[in-house]
């Protein structure tokens, strides 16, 4: 009986202890919450992240939006009055904001982490519409803050906001080609712009030379770029930059190059005029951006046309894959000494026999 009473008393004490501990924790928690609700925002720390230094949205834009959403100056307001979820949604309505996270740290500082969208290509539609695209294929408008230095694509077949399945696939190819170009400093220095043909294939317009580089579709880009690099390293230094009118990369394991002929001269002149007009129109649209503030080149985009010849001439320490350039029409080099035409031997004329001279006749002598 005594043992039972002693056991019950111990059980009551343990239960009471746990209850008191729970009450104490609850009191502390309520006090912390009340203290937090009574705390005010001391400052705002904005952090904008992206793949490079293209800042199409700046810290002041984020601060203005937070203050506008709060109805007044956010600093000094009670933390309990902040609708952080609503602020995040409002920030993400900006087309240049990919993701936004807002929270208060232990020092009552409002942290705003904003991830900016990164343009990877600029696209010119057949009409007057032009836009950027990012890695997620979002169509981004031009910015009044910066003009991004990214590869330019012309001839996109649609300027509609809602694209068809075929146009979406074409936009995906544009993204893949542009990203691959930016990974290769040689190709970035070589290619001035990329034309989209009516058959939805791609052609490169180089900075140097009047040839057209036919890329075809966006498949096997690594192989095509390697073949083009080898072609420029091996063929162009030998035969010049304007020897070929077309360089075709569509065939597996080979580069098909067409020599300029008489028919190509007029066609090439016409195409040169067309390309110059297209590039002039593109340059005019680029120049018509609201503000022409060009950001410094990033690590993937430090190239100019003077790098092309340097890269071709410098020796590579690594072994290059062997590619046989088949079906490349090349005229035989003229020999140093041309054979002179052999003289045709004329038959010798037989000498005409002259008549023998008559012997002189002796005059008859006088007879004595």
Domain boundary among 268, 283, 313: 313
**Which tokens go with 3?**
């043992």
Contacts of 148 (CB under 8 A, 6+ apart): 54, 119, 122, 132, 295
Check residue 128 and give its pLDDT: 76
Measured from the Cβ of residue 26, the count of other Cβ atoms closer than 10 Å reads: 10
**Which tokens go with 120?**
């990877």
Average pLDDT, the chain: 75
Give the full edge-to-edge strand order of the sheet including 97-104: 43-49, 109-116, 97-104
Contacts of 31 (CB under 8 A, 6+ apart): none
**Which tokens go with 148?**
């991004």
- CATH number, domain of 62, equals 3.10.20.310
Identify whether the C-beta of residue 67 lies closer than 8 Å to the C-beta of residue 134. no
Q: What is the pTM of this model?
A: 0.64
Q: Are residues 185 and 98 in the same domain?
A: no
Q: What is the pLDDT of residues 280-308, one digit of tens each?
A: 565 565 555 543 333 434 444 444 444 44
Check residue 331 and give its pLDDT: 42
Measured from the Cβ of residue 225, the count of other Cβ atoms closer than 10 Å reads: 20
Q: Are residues 110 and 207 in the same domain?
A: no
Check residue 114 and give its pLDDT: 93
Contacts of 151 (CB under 8 A, 6+ apart): 121, 122, 177, 178, 181, 182, 188, 191, 193, 194
Q: Are residues 125 and 70 in the same domain?
A: no
Position 347 in a domain: no
Check residue 34 and give its pLDDT: 60
Q: Are residues 152 and 108 in the same domain?
A: no
Q: What is the pLDDT of residues 40-89, one digit of tens each?
A: 999 999 999 876 665 788 889 899 999 998 888 889 888 988 999 999 99
Check residue 330 and give its pLDDT: 44
With residues binned 3-state (H G I as helix, E B as strand, rest as coil), the percentages for the chain, rounded to 5, are 40, 20, 45
Reference 280, options 139, 124, 119; nearest CA is: 124
Q: What is the pLDDT of residues 13-50, one digit of tens each?
A: 777 777 878 887 776 676 555 655 568 999 999 999 87
Check residue 224 and give its pLDDT: 94
Flag whether pLDDT at 322 surpasses 50.
Answer: no
Measured from the Cβ of residue 27, the count of other Cβ atoms closer than 10 Å reads: 10
Q: Are residues 207 and 138 in the same domain?
A: yes
Flag whether pLDDT at 326 surpasses 60.
Answer: no
Residue range(s) defining the domain that contains residue 74: 43-115
Higher pLDDT, 118 or 366: 118
Q: What is the pLDDT of residues 212-237, one digit of tens each?
A: 999 999 999 999 999 999 998 888 88
Position 2 in a domain: no
CA atoms of 192 and 360, how far apart (whole Å):
103
Q: Are residues 188 and 211 in the same domain?
A: yes
pLDDT band at 148 (very low <50, low <70, confident <90, very high): confident
Contacts of 11 (CB under 8 A, 6+ apart): none
Look at the chain and report how many structural domains it folds into: 2
Position 353 in a domain: no
């Amino acid at each position: 009986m005594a043992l039972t009473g002693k056991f019950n008393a111990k059980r009551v004490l343990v239960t009471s202890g746990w209850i008191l501990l729970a009450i104490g924790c609850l009191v502390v928690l309520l006090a912390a919450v009340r203290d937090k609700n009574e705390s005010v925002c001391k400052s705002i720390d904005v952090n904008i992240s992206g793949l490079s230094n293209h800042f199409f949205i700046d810290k002041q834009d984020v601060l203005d939006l937070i203050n506008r959403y709060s109805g007044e100056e956010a600093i000094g307001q009670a933390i309990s009055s902040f609708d952080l979820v609503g602020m995040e949604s409002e920030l993400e309505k900006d087309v240049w904001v990919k993701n936004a996270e807002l929270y208060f740290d232990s020092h009552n500082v409002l942290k705003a982490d904003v991830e900016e969208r990164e343009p990877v290509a600029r696209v010119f539609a057949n009409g007057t519409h032009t836009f950027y695209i990012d890695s997620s294929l979002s169509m981004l408008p031009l910015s009044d803050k910066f003009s991004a230095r990214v590869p330019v694509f012309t001839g996109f077949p649609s300027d509609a906001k809602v694209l068809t399945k075929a146009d979406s696939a074409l936009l995906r190819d544009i993204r893949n080609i542009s990203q691959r170009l930016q990974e290769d400093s040689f190709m970035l220095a070589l290619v001035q712009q990329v034309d989209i043909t009516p058959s939805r294939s791609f052609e490169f317009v180089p900075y140097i030379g009047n040839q057209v580089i036919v890329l075809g579709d966006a498949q096997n880009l690594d192989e095509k770029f390697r073949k083009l690099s080898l072609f420029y390293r091996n063929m162009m230094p030998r035969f010049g930059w304007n020897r070929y009118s077309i360089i075709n990369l569509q065939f597996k394991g080979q580069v098909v190059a067409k020599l300029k002929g008489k028919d190509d001269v007029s066609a090439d002149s016409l195409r040169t005029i067309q390309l110059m007009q297209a590039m002039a129109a593109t340059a005019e649209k680029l120049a018509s951006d609201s503000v022409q503030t060009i950001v410094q080149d990033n690590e993937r985009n430090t190239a100019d046309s003077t790098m092309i010849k340097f890269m071709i001439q410098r020796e590579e320490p690594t072994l290059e894959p062997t590619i046989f350039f088949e079906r490349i029409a090349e005229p035989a080099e003229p020999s140093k000494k041309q054979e002179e035409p052999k003289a045709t031997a004329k038959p010798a004329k037989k000498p005409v026999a002259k008549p023998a001279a008559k012997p002189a006749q002796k005059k008859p002598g006088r007879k004595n």
